[in-house]
Amino acid sequence: MYNLIADILKYGLVLVVYMFIYSVIKLIYLDITDTRRMENSLVGAIAYLKTITIGKNLKYKLFDSYGIRENSVVGSSKKCDVYIKDPYMSKENTSIFLKDGAFYIQDLNSTNGTYVNDKKLTAAPKRLKDGDKIKMGELNFVFVDPYEMA
């Protein structure tokens, strides 16, 4: 009887150790893929969003900046060009696009809206300038256009 209990505990312990090793490997893999995704978003970026949300206890990974190309969709869906796992951000929250040499931002009917310089966006696209403050979900960003700065 004691041998049976000892065997069950032994195999149970082995199972717990394997589950721990699996979860560690999974976390490392997810961290590497998130970092690669962020680095890839900066390759070929024309402008970028600089994160200014500081001091919040967020339950998801947030990078310092996110690259913006000629036409980028920002949202909480992995299909978006700029993917941020913010629970207060819509799947396709905002579109930032280049038109006639200037960047524009447009809210994509998001639940919580998109704000530029503390003003809620309407349906019409709004021209972005270097240094504009953008709020999406619970996050704040500064729009940086290096070509406008020059």
Q: What is the 3-state secondary structure (H, E, C) of the chain?
A: CHHHHHHHHHHHHHHHHHHHHHHHHHHHHHHHHHHHHHHHHHCCCCEEEEECCCCCCCCCCCCCEEEECCEEEEECCCCCCEECCCCCCCCCCEEEEEECCEEEEEECCCCCCEEECCEECCCCCEECCCCCEEEECCEEEEEECHHHHC
* Mean pLDDT calculated for residue range 83-98: 93
- Name the more confident of 123 and 39: 123
pTM, two decimals, is: 0.71
- Pairwise CA distance, residues 107 & 137, whole Å: 12
Percent over 90 (pLDDT), the chain: 51
Contact between residue 96 and residue 74 where contact means Cβ atoms under 8 Å apart:
yes
The pLDDT mean for the chain works out to 86
pLDDT at residue number 149: 54
**Residue with structure tokens 């070509």?**
147
Q: Give burial (CB, 10 Å; 0-12/13-18/19+) of 136.
A: buried
pLDDT, tens digit, 9 for 90 and up, residues 24-70? 888 877 677 666 665 555 667 789 899 987 656 778 878 888 999 88
- Pairwise CA distance, residues 82 & 90, whole Å: 12
Give the distance, in angstroms, between the CA of residue 122 and the centroid of all CA atoms in the same chain.
23
Inform me whether the pLDDT recorded for 92 exceeds 90: yes
Q: pLDDT-derived band of residue 128, with 50, 70 and 90 as boundaries?
A: very high
Inform me whether the pLDDT recorded for 2 exceeds 90: no
Percent over 70 (pLDDT), the chain: 86
Inform me whether the pLDDT recorded for 96 exceeds 80: yes
pLDDT at residue number 35: 61
pLDDT, tens digit, 9 for 90 and up, residues 11-28? 999 999 999 999 888 887
Contact between residue 49 and residue 62 where contact means Cβ atoms under 8 Å apart:
no
